[in-house]
Chains A and B, each alone.
Chain A
Amino acid sequence: MNWTWFHRLGSPPHIYRIAGTLTPWFAWPAGLLIVAALYGGLVLAPPDYQQGEGFRILYVHAPSAWLAVMIYGVMASAAAVGLIWRMKVAHAVAASCAGVGAWFTAVSLVTGMLWGKPMWGTYWVWDPRLTAQLILFILYLGYMGLRAGIDDLGRADRASAVLAIVGVVNIPIIRYSVEWWNSIHQAPSVMKMDRPSMPLDMLAPLLMMLLGFTLYFAAILLVRLRAEILRRERTASWIREVLR
Protein backbone atom coordinates (compact mmCIF):
# COMPACT_ATOMS: atom_id res chain seq x y z
CA MET A 1 0.00 0.00 0.00
CA ASN A 2 1.69 3.18 -1.06
CA TRP A 3 0.35 6.58 -0.33
CA THR A 4 2.10 9.87 0.20
CA TRP A 5 0.72 13.22 1.10
CA PHE A 6 1.83 15.87 -1.37
CA HIS A 7 2.10 19.34 0.07
CA ARG A 8 2.28 22.20 -2.41
CA LEU A 9 5.41 23.64 -0.84
CA GLY A 10 8.29 21.66 0.57
CA SER A 11 7.25 18.06 0.51
CA PRO A 12 8.60 16.43 3.70
CA PRO A 13 11.07 13.96 2.11
CA HIS A 14 12.57 16.77 0.05
CA ILE A 15 12.94 19.07 3.09
CA TYR A 16 14.30 16.20 5.16
CA ARG A 17 17.10 15.59 2.69
CA ILE A 18 17.93 19.29 2.22
CA ALA A 19 18.03 19.81 5.99
CA GLY A 20 20.57 17.01 6.22
CA THR A 21 22.92 18.38 3.58
CA LEU A 22 22.70 22.00 4.78
CA THR A 23 23.42 21.38 8.45
CA PRO A 24 27.24 21.24 8.18
CA TRP A 25 27.18 24.35 5.92
CA PHE A 26 25.73 26.27 8.84
CA ALA A 27 27.47 24.46 11.70
CA TRP A 28 31.09 24.95 10.61
CA PRO A 29 30.92 28.64 9.71
CA ALA A 30 29.04 29.22 12.97
CA GLY A 31 31.84 27.53 14.95
CA LEU A 32 34.56 29.50 13.22
CA LEU A 33 32.75 32.81 13.59
CA ILE A 34 32.11 32.24 17.28
CA VAL A 35 35.75 31.31 17.98
CA ALA A 36 37.01 34.30 16.00
CA ALA A 37 34.55 36.61 17.77
CA LEU A 38 35.66 35.17 21.13
CA TYR A 39 39.26 36.01 20.36
CA GLY A 40 38.29 39.46 19.10
CA GLY A 41 36.02 40.18 22.04
CA LEU A 42 38.18 38.86 24.85
CA VAL A 43 41.66 39.71 23.61
CA LEU A 44 41.66 42.36 20.91
CA ALA A 45 38.83 44.64 22.00
CA PRO A 46 39.96 47.40 24.41
CA PRO A 47 38.30 47.60 27.85
CA ASP A 48 35.32 49.93 28.12
CA TYR A 49 36.20 53.30 29.70
CA GLN A 50 33.26 52.97 32.10
CA GLN A 51 32.73 49.26 32.74
CA GLY A 52 36.31 48.12 32.18
CA GLU A 53 36.74 44.44 31.34
CA GLY A 54 33.23 43.70 32.64
CA PHE A 55 31.65 44.93 29.43
CA ARG A 56 33.00 41.80 27.62
CA ILE A 57 29.97 39.92 28.95
CA LEU A 58 28.21 41.83 26.20
CA TYR A 59 29.67 39.36 23.67
CA VAL A 60 27.60 36.52 25.06
CA HIS A 61 24.67 38.50 26.47
CA ALA A 62 23.70 40.47 23.37
CA PRO A 63 23.79 37.49 20.94
CA SER A 64 21.72 35.35 23.36
CA ALA A 65 19.19 38.15 23.75
CA TRP A 66 19.08 38.50 19.97
CA LEU A 67 18.53 34.73 19.50
CA ALA A 68 15.78 34.73 22.12
CA VAL A 69 13.71 37.31 20.25
CA MET A 70 14.64 36.20 16.72
CA ILE A 71 13.77 32.57 17.43
CA TYR A 72 10.31 33.54 18.72
CA GLY A 73 9.80 35.48 15.50
CA VAL A 74 10.83 32.48 13.40
CA MET A 75 8.60 30.23 15.52
CA ALA A 76 5.56 32.51 15.14
CA SER A 77 5.97 32.97 11.38
CA ALA A 78 6.42 29.22 10.86
CA ALA A 79 3.32 28.69 13.00
CA ALA A 80 1.35 31.21 10.91
CA VAL A 81 2.41 29.50 7.66
CA GLY A 82 1.51 26.12 9.14
CA LEU A 83 -1.91 27.32 10.28
CA ILE A 84 -2.87 29.24 7.13
CA TRP A 85 -1.59 26.82 4.48
CA ARG A 86 -1.91 23.72 6.66
CA MET A 87 1.71 22.74 6.09
CA LYS A 88 3.07 20.13 8.50
CA VAL A 89 6.67 21.09 7.70
CA ALA A 90 5.99 24.63 8.91
CA HIS A 91 4.59 23.26 12.19
CA ALA A 92 7.68 21.08 12.43
CA VAL A 93 9.87 24.20 12.14
CA ALA A 94 7.87 25.94 14.88
CA ALA A 95 8.15 22.88 17.13
CA SER A 96 11.90 22.78 16.57
CA CYS A 97 12.36 26.41 17.66
CA ALA A 98 10.81 26.43 21.13
CA GLY A 99 13.49 24.51 23.04
CA VAL A 100 16.45 26.48 21.68
CA GLY A 101 14.63 29.77 22.13
CA ALA A 102 13.87 29.08 25.77
CA TRP A 103 17.47 28.01 26.42
CA PHE A 104 18.97 31.19 25.03
CA THR A 105 16.36 33.40 26.72
CA ALA A 106 17.55 31.85 29.99
CA VAL A 107 21.18 32.46 29.00
CA SER A 108 20.44 36.10 28.21
CA LEU A 109 18.81 36.48 31.63
CA VAL A 110 21.71 34.88 33.52
CA THR A 111 24.38 36.78 31.61
CA GLY A 112 22.34 39.98 32.06
CA MET A 113 22.28 39.44 35.81
CA LEU A 114 26.02 38.64 35.91
CA TRP A 115 26.60 41.87 34.03
CA GLY A 116 24.32 43.88 36.32
CA LYS A 117 25.97 42.65 39.55
CA PRO A 118 29.28 44.61 39.25
CA MET A 119 27.33 47.60 37.90
CA TRP A 120 24.57 47.90 40.49
CA GLY A 121 25.63 45.61 43.30
CA THR A 122 22.56 43.39 42.98
CA TYR A 123 21.95 40.43 40.72
CA TRP A 124 18.44 41.34 39.62
CA VAL A 125 17.72 44.82 38.34
CA TRP A 126 14.29 45.75 36.91
CA ASP A 127 15.94 46.98 33.76
CA PRO A 128 13.40 47.16 30.93
CA ARG A 129 15.29 44.83 28.61
CA LEU A 130 15.95 42.24 31.32
CA THR A 131 12.30 42.42 32.38
CA ALA A 132 11.10 42.01 28.80
CA GLN A 133 13.40 38.97 28.40
CA LEU A 134 11.94 37.50 31.59
CA ILE A 135 8.42 37.84 30.20
CA LEU A 136 9.59 36.34 26.91
CA PHE A 137 10.93 33.38 28.89
CA ILE A 138 7.48 32.91 30.45
CA LEU A 139 5.93 33.05 26.96
CA TYR A 140 8.28 30.24 25.89
CA LEU A 141 7.33 28.22 28.98
CA GLY A 142 3.64 28.74 28.17
CA TYR A 143 4.20 27.60 24.57
CA MET A 144 6.07 24.46 25.62
CA GLY A 145 3.54 23.80 28.39
CA LEU A 146 0.67 23.94 25.91
CA ARG A 147 2.46 21.61 23.49
CA ALA A 148 3.17 19.15 26.29
CA GLY A 149 -0.44 19.28 27.47
CA ILE A 150 -1.95 18.06 24.22
CA ASP A 151 -1.36 14.46 23.17
CA ASP A 152 -2.39 14.52 19.52
CA LEU A 153 0.50 15.98 17.50
CA GLY A 154 -1.70 17.66 14.89
CA ARG A 155 -3.80 19.35 17.53
CA ALA A 156 -0.73 20.37 19.56
CA ASP A 157 0.73 21.96 16.41
CA ARG A 158 -2.35 24.02 15.68
CA ALA A 159 -3.07 25.08 19.27
CA SER A 160 0.54 26.15 19.89
CA ALA A 161 0.51 27.95 16.55
CA VAL A 162 -2.41 30.12 17.69
CA LEU A 163 -0.54 30.85 20.92
CA ALA A 164 2.68 31.73 19.09
CA ILE A 165 0.85 34.17 16.84
CA VAL A 166 -1.00 35.79 19.75
CA GLY A 167 2.36 35.93 21.57
CA VAL A 168 4.28 37.57 18.73
CA VAL A 169 1.59 40.25 18.38
CA ASN A 170 1.98 40.98 22.08
CA ILE A 171 5.80 41.00 22.29
CA PRO A 172 6.29 44.54 20.93
CA ILE A 173 3.39 45.74 23.12
CA ILE A 174 4.92 44.12 26.19
CA ARG A 175 8.34 45.62 25.37
CA TYR A 176 6.78 49.06 24.91
CA SER A 177 4.79 48.80 28.14
CA VAL A 178 7.89 47.70 30.10
CA GLU A 179 9.99 50.55 28.64
CA TRP A 180 7.11 52.95 29.42
CA TRP A 181 6.83 51.51 32.94
CA ASN A 182 10.60 51.92 33.40
CA SER A 183 10.59 55.51 32.20
CA ILE A 184 7.85 56.65 34.58
CA HIS A 185 9.55 55.06 37.59
CA GLN A 186 13.14 56.00 36.59
CA ALA A 187 14.28 52.49 37.49
CA PRO A 188 17.99 51.92 36.94
CA SER A 189 18.99 50.75 33.51
CA VAL A 190 22.04 48.55 33.02
CA MET A 191 22.08 48.12 29.31
CA LYS A 192 22.85 51.70 28.26
CA MET A 193 25.38 50.27 25.76
CA ASP A 194 23.96 51.26 22.39
CA ARG A 195 25.88 49.51 19.66
CA PRO A 196 26.56 52.18 16.99
CA SER A 197 28.64 54.35 19.30
CA MET A 198 31.06 51.46 19.94
CA PRO A 199 34.47 51.73 18.27
CA LEU A 200 35.05 49.27 15.41
CA ASP A 201 37.42 46.93 17.27
CA MET A 202 34.71 46.52 19.92
CA LEU A 203 31.86 46.32 17.43
CA ALA A 204 33.36 43.85 14.94
CA PRO A 205 33.55 40.90 17.37
CA LEU A 206 29.98 41.58 18.45
CA LEU A 207 28.66 41.47 14.89
CA MET A 208 30.63 38.30 14.20
CA MET A 209 29.24 36.71 17.37
CA LEU A 210 25.69 37.71 16.38
CA LEU A 211 26.14 36.12 12.94
CA GLY A 212 27.84 33.09 14.48
CA PHE A 213 24.97 32.54 16.93
CA THR A 214 22.42 32.96 14.15
CA LEU A 215 24.14 30.35 11.96
CA TYR A 216 24.47 28.11 15.01
CA PHE A 217 20.73 28.35 15.57
CA ALA A 218 20.09 27.53 11.91
CA ALA A 219 22.18 24.35 12.24
CA ILE A 220 20.37 23.27 15.41
CA LEU A 221 17.02 24.06 13.82
CA LEU A 222 17.79 21.86 10.79
CA VAL A 223 18.70 18.88 12.96
CA ARG A 224 15.62 19.25 15.11
CA LEU A 225 13.50 19.81 12.00
CA ARG A 226 14.48 16.38 10.67
CA ALA A 227 13.34 14.81 13.93
CA GLU A 228 10.02 16.70 13.90
CA ILE A 229 9.38 15.76 10.25
CA LEU A 230 9.88 12.07 11.04
CA ARG A 231 7.43 12.36 13.93
CA ARG A 232 4.79 13.97 11.73
CA GLU A 233 5.22 11.75 8.68
CA ARG A 234 4.48 8.69 10.82
CA THR A 235 4.67 5.78 8.39
CA ALA A 236 5.07 7.55 5.04
CA SER A 237 6.85 5.19 2.67
CA TRP A 238 9.84 7.49 2.03
CA ILE A 239 10.93 7.04 5.62
CA ARG A 240 11.83 3.43 4.96
CA GLU A 241 14.88 4.42 2.90
CA VAL A 242 15.93 6.95 5.55
CA LEU A 243 15.86 4.31 8.24
CA ARG A 244 17.85 1.78 6.28
Chain B
Amino acid sequence: MSELSVKNLHVFRGERHLLRGLGFEVPAGCCLQVVGANGAGKTTLLRVMSGLLEAESLELTWRGERVEPRDPEYHAELSYLGHDPALKSDFTAAENIAFNVGLRRRVASQDVRSALARVSAEKFSDRPIRSLSAGQRRRVALAALWLSGTRLWMLDEPATNLDAAGQALVASLIQEQLSGGGLVMAATHQDLGLPAAQRASLEIGVHGVRT
Protein backbone atom coordinates (compact mmCIF):
# COMPACT_ATOMS: atom_id res chain seq x y z
CA MET B 1 0.00 0.00 0.00
CA SER B 2 1.63 3.25 -1.05
CA GLU B 3 1.98 6.30 1.17
CA LEU B 4 -0.72 8.35 -0.49
CA SER B 5 -3.75 6.96 -2.28
CA VAL B 6 -6.88 8.62 -3.65
CA LYS B 7 -10.11 6.92 -4.70
CA ASN B 8 -13.51 8.09 -5.98
CA LEU B 9 -12.55 11.75 -6.25
CA HIS B 10 -15.42 13.85 -7.68
CA VAL B 11 -15.18 17.65 -7.90
CA PHE B 12 -17.55 20.24 -9.33
CA ARG B 13 -16.52 23.75 -10.17
CA GLY B 14 -19.80 25.63 -10.55
CA GLU B 15 -21.70 23.68 -13.20
CA ARG B 16 -18.72 21.73 -14.58
CA HIS B 17 -18.06 18.23 -13.33
CA LEU B 18 -14.31 18.75 -13.43
CA LEU B 19 -12.89 15.58 -11.83
CA ARG B 20 -14.94 12.42 -12.35
CA GLY B 21 -14.09 9.40 -10.20
CA LEU B 22 -10.34 10.08 -10.14
CA GLY B 23 -8.11 7.51 -8.44
CA PHE B 24 -4.33 7.16 -8.15
CA GLU B 25 -1.52 6.23 -5.80
CA VAL B 26 1.84 7.84 -4.96
CA PRO B 27 4.51 5.60 -3.34
CA ALA B 28 7.12 7.10 -0.99
CA GLY B 29 10.06 8.69 -2.76
CA CYS B 30 8.03 9.24 -5.92
CA CYS B 31 6.92 12.39 -7.77
CA LEU B 32 3.50 12.34 -9.44
CA GLN B 33 3.52 14.80 -12.30
CA VAL B 34 0.00 16.10 -12.98
CA VAL B 35 -0.41 17.12 -16.62
CA GLY B 36 -3.33 18.27 -18.72
CA ALA B 37 -4.70 21.21 -20.67
CA ASN B 38 -5.37 24.52 -19.02
CA GLY B 39 -8.60 24.47 -17.05
CA ALA B 40 -8.56 20.65 -16.98
CA GLY B 41 -8.43 20.68 -13.17
CA LYS B 42 -4.74 20.39 -12.24
CA THR B 43 -4.94 23.25 -9.75
CA THR B 44 -8.29 22.00 -8.50
CA LEU B 45 -6.81 18.56 -7.84
CA LEU B 46 -3.89 19.99 -5.84
CA ARG B 47 -6.15 22.33 -3.85
CA VAL B 48 -8.56 19.51 -3.02
CA MET B 49 -5.67 17.28 -1.93
CA SER B 50 -4.37 20.12 0.28
CA GLY B 51 -7.75 20.63 1.94
CA LEU B 52 -8.19 24.08 0.43
CA LEU B 53 -11.14 23.06 -1.71
CA GLU B 54 -14.03 20.80 -0.72
CA ALA B 55 -14.62 17.84 -3.04
CA GLU B 56 -18.01 16.30 -3.76
CA SER B 57 -16.54 12.99 -2.61
CA LEU B 58 -12.99 11.81 -1.87
CA GLU B 59 -11.41 8.79 -0.21
CA LEU B 60 -7.91 9.88 0.83
CA THR B 61 -5.47 7.52 2.51
CA TRP B 62 -2.22 8.95 3.93
CA ARG B 63 0.36 6.52 5.32
CA GLY B 64 -2.21 3.77 5.58
CA GLU B 65 -4.86 5.81 7.38
CA ARG B 66 -8.08 7.32 5.98
CA VAL B 67 -7.81 11.07 6.57
CA GLU B 68 -9.93 14.11 5.82
CA PRO B 69 -7.95 16.57 3.67
CA ARG B 70 -8.68 19.26 6.29
CA ASP B 71 -7.16 17.32 9.18
CA PRO B 72 -4.43 19.41 10.90
CA GLU B 73 -2.25 16.32 11.43
CA TYR B 74 -2.29 15.69 7.67
CA HIS B 75 -1.59 19.36 7.04
CA ALA B 76 1.37 19.29 9.41
CA GLU B 77 3.12 16.94 7.00
CA LEU B 78 2.07 18.78 3.84
CA SER B 79 3.32 21.91 2.07
CA TYR B 80 1.28 23.66 -0.62
CA LEU B 81 2.93 26.03 -3.08
CA GLY B 82 0.28 27.84 -5.09
CA HIS B 83 0.33 30.24 -8.03
CA ASP B 84 1.25 33.25 -5.87
CA PRO B 85 4.12 32.72 -3.39
CA ALA B 86 2.75 33.37 0.13
CA LEU B 87 4.92 36.38 0.97
CA LYS B 88 4.11 39.69 2.64
CA SER B 89 5.47 42.46 0.43
CA ASP B 90 6.37 44.70 3.41
CA PHE B 91 8.60 42.03 4.93
CA THR B 92 12.07 40.98 3.80
CA ALA B 93 12.70 37.52 2.35
CA ALA B 94 14.27 36.38 5.61
CA GLU B 95 11.34 37.60 7.71
CA ASN B 96 8.83 35.91 5.40
CA ILE B 97 10.63 32.57 5.55
CA ALA B 98 11.03 32.79 9.33
CA PHE B 99 7.27 33.36 9.64
CA ASN B 100 5.98 30.83 7.09
CA VAL B 101 8.18 28.02 8.38
CA GLY B 102 7.91 29.24 11.99
CA LEU B 103 4.18 28.45 11.85
CA ARG B 104 5.19 24.82 11.48
CA ARG B 105 8.35 24.34 13.50
CA ARG B 106 11.06 26.09 15.49
CA VAL B 107 13.29 28.03 13.09
CA ALA B 108 16.67 29.58 13.90
CA SER B 109 18.05 32.46 11.85
CA GLN B 110 20.84 30.13 10.81
CA ASP B 111 18.25 27.79 9.24
CA VAL B 112 16.78 30.74 7.33
CA ARG B 113 20.19 31.73 6.00
CA SER B 114 20.96 28.18 4.88
CA ALA B 115 17.56 28.00 3.13
CA LEU B 116 18.29 31.25 1.30
CA ALA B 117 21.71 29.90 0.36
CA ARG B 118 20.14 26.67 -0.96
CA VAL B 119 18.13 28.71 -3.50
CA SER B 120 21.06 31.16 -3.99
CA ALA B 121 18.97 34.08 -2.78
CA GLU B 122 21.37 35.41 -0.16
CA LYS B 123 22.07 38.65 -1.96
CA PHE B 124 18.48 39.87 -1.84
CA SER B 125 17.52 38.32 1.49
CA ASP B 126 17.30 41.63 3.34
CA ARG B 127 15.33 43.61 0.77
CA PRO B 128 11.52 43.87 1.16
CA ILE B 129 9.68 41.44 -1.11
CA ARG B 130 8.05 44.46 -2.77
CA SER B 131 11.34 45.26 -4.48
CA LEU B 132 12.00 41.71 -5.79
CA SER B 133 11.18 40.34 -9.22
CA ALA B 134 8.63 37.56 -9.65
CA GLY B 135 11.45 35.05 -10.19
CA GLN B 136 13.24 36.15 -7.04
CA ARG B 137 10.01 35.88 -5.05
CA ARG B 138 9.47 32.38 -6.40
CA ARG B 139 12.98 31.45 -5.18
CA VAL B 140 12.16 32.78 -1.67
CA ALA B 141 8.97 30.68 -1.65
CA LEU B 142 11.01 27.63 -2.71
CA ALA B 143 13.44 28.33 0.15
CA ALA B 144 10.53 28.24 2.64
CA LEU B 145 9.30 25.01 1.04
CA TRP B 146 12.72 23.41 1.34
CA LEU B 147 13.11 24.53 4.97
CA SER B 148 9.63 23.35 6.01
CA GLY B 149 10.86 19.74 5.96
CA THR B 150 7.41 18.36 5.28
CA ARG B 151 6.96 14.88 3.85
CA LEU B 152 4.37 15.68 1.13
CA TRP B 153 4.79 18.55 -1.34
CA MET B 154 1.87 19.90 -3.42
CA LEU B 155 3.40 22.13 -6.10
CA ASP B 156 1.24 24.07 -8.56
CA GLU B 157 3.41 25.16 -11.52
CA PRO B 158 6.48 25.47 -9.26
CA ALA B 159 8.72 26.79 -12.03
CA THR B 160 6.57 29.73 -13.15
CA ASN B 161 8.56 32.99 -13.58
CA LEU B 162 11.81 31.06 -13.24
CA ASP B 163 14.72 31.13 -15.70
CA ALA B 164 16.59 28.00 -16.79
CA ALA B 165 18.72 28.04 -13.62
CA GLY B 166 15.55 28.39 -11.57
CA GLN B 167 13.95 25.40 -13.28
CA ALA B 168 17.07 23.36 -12.57
CA LEU B 169 16.76 24.46 -8.91
CA VAL B 170 13.16 23.16 -8.80
CA ALA B 171 14.25 19.81 -10.28
CA SER B 172 17.10 19.47 -7.74
CA LEU B 173 14.85 20.40 -4.79
CA ILE B 174 12.35 17.75 -5.87
CA GLN B 175 15.10 15.17 -6.31
CA GLU B 176 16.37 16.01 -2.82
CA GLN B 177 12.86 15.63 -1.37
CA LEU B 178 12.36 12.26 -3.08
CA SER B 179 15.72 10.87 -2.03
CA GLY B 180 14.76 11.77 1.53
CA GLY B 181 11.73 9.48 1.20
CA GLY B 182 9.32 12.36 0.67
CA LEU B 183 6.49 12.58 -1.87
CA VAL B 184 5.74 15.27 -4.44
CA MET B 185 2.68 16.06 -6.53
CA ALA B 186 3.59 18.68 -9.09
CA ALA B 187 1.38 20.26 -11.73
CA THR B 188 4.04 21.09 -14.32
CA HIS B 189 4.99 20.18 -17.88
CA GLN B 190 8.69 20.65 -17.08
CA ASP B 191 10.92 17.61 -17.51
CA LEU B 192 12.23 17.08 -13.98
CA GLY B 193 14.94 14.68 -15.10
CA LEU B 194 13.82 12.01 -12.66
CA PRO B 195 14.57 8.31 -13.16
CA ALA B 196 11.51 6.25 -14.18
CA ALA B 197 11.34 4.59 -10.72
CA GLN B 198 10.79 7.95 -9.05
CA ARG B 199 8.34 9.34 -11.55
CA ALA B 200 4.67 8.75 -12.33
CA SER B 201 2.31 10.93 -14.31
CA LEU B 202 -1.44 11.59 -14.17
CA GLU B 203 -3.26 12.93 -17.19
CA ILE B 204 -6.25 15.15 -16.31
CA GLY B 205 -8.41 15.23 -19.46
CA VAL B 206 -11.22 17.72 -20.11
CA HIS B 207 -13.63 14.94 -19.01
CA GLY B 208 -11.38 13.87 -16.16
CA VAL B 209 -9.91 10.43 -15.81
CA ARG B 210 -12.49 7.66 -16.05
CA THR B 211 -11.96 4.93 -13.46
Which of under 10, 10 to 19, 20 to 34, or 35 or more describes the interface residues of B?
Answer: 10 to 19
Complex contacts, A5 vs chain B, CB 8 Å: 10, 56-57
Complex contacts, A3 vs chain B, CB 8 Å: 10, 20-21
Contact indicator B210/A1 (Cβ below 8 Å): yes
Q: Which residue of B is nearest A155, CB measured? A: B54
CA distance A209 to B210 in the complex (A): 55
CA distance A151 to B89 in the complex (A): 30
Q: What is the 8 Å Cβ interface bit string for chain B, positions 1-45, against chain A (1 contact, 0 not)?
A: 000000000101111010011000000000000000000000000
> How close is B149's CB to chain A, nearest CB, in angstroms?
33
18 new A-B contacts at CB < 8 Å, known A1-B210, A153-B14: A3-B10, A3-B20, A3-B21, A5-B10, A5-B56, A5-B57, A151-B14, A152-B13, A152-B14, A154-B12, A154-B54, A154-B56, A155-B54, A158-B54, A234-B12, A234-B15, A234-B17, A235-B17
CA distance A1 to B210 in the complex (A): 9
Q: Which residue of A is nearest B207, CB measured? A: A1
CA distance A234 to B20 in the complex (A): 13
CA distance A234 to B18 in the complex (A): 13
Which of under 10, 10 to 19, 20 to 34, or 35 or more describes the interface residues of A?
Answer: 10 to 19
> How close is B58's CB to chain A, nearest CB, in angstroms?
11
> How close is A48's CB to chain B, nearest CB, in angstroms?
55
CA distance A151 to B16 in the complex (A): 13
Complex contacts, B15 vs chain A, CB 8 Å: 234
Complex contacts, B10 vs chain A, CB 8 Å: 3, 5
Complex contacts, A234 vs chain B, CB 8 Å: 12, 15, 17
CA distance A158 to B56 in the complex (A): 13
Q: Which residue of B is nearest A158, CB measured? A: B54
Q: What is the 8 Å Cβ interface bit string for chain A, positions 226-244, against chain B (1 contact, 0 not)?
A: 0000000011000000000
CA distance A235 to B56 in the complex (A): 13
Q: What is the 8 Å Cβ interface bit string for chain A, positions 123-154, against chain B (1 contact, 0 not)?
A: 00000000000000000000000000001111
Complex contacts, B54 vs chain A, CB 8 Å: 154-155, 158
Complex contacts, A158 vs chain B, CB 8 Å: 54
> How close is B69's CB to chain A, nearest CB, in angstroms?
13
**CB<8 Å pairs between A and B, sample of 14:** A1-B20, A1-B210, A3-B10, A5-B10, A5-B57, A152-B13, A152-B14, A154-B12, A154-B54, A155-B54, A158-B54, A234-B15, A234-B17, A235-B17
- List B residues 31-84 near A (Cβ within 8 Å): 54, 56-57
> How close is A151's CB to chain B, nearest CB, in angstroms?
6
Complex contacts, B57 vs chain A, CB 8 Å: 5
> How close is A140's CB to chain B, nearest CB, in angstroms?
25
Q: Which residue of B is nearest A3, CB measured? A: B21
Complex contacts, A1 vs chain B, CB 8 Å: 20, 210
CA distance A235 to B207 in the complex (A): 14
CA distance A5 to B55 in the complex (A): 12
Q: Which residue of A is nearest B210, CB measured? A: A1
In the A-B complex, the 8 residue pairs with the smallest Cβ-Cβ separation, listed nearest first, are A152-B14, A151-B14, A5-B57, A154-B54, A3-B21, A5-B56, A234-B12, A154-B12
> How close is B22's CB to chain A, nearest CB, in angstroms?
12
Complex contacts, A153 vs chain B, CB 8 Å: 14
Q: Which residue of B is nearest A153, CB measured? A: B14
CA distance A155 to B54 in the complex (A): 9
Complex contacts, A235 vs chain B, CB 8 Å: 17
> How close is B17's CB to chain A, nearest CB, in angstroms?
7
Complex contacts, B12 vs chain A, CB 8 Å: 154, 234
> How close is A239's CB to chain B, nearest CB, in angstroms?
14
Q: Which residue of A is nearest B54, CB measured? A: A154
> How close is A129's CB to chain B, nearest CB, in angstroms?
40
CA distance A170 to B95 in the complex (A): 40
Complex contacts, B20 vs chain A, CB 8 Å: 1, 3
CA distance A1 to B15 in the complex (A): 18
Complex contacts, A154 vs chain B, CB 8 Å: 12, 54, 56
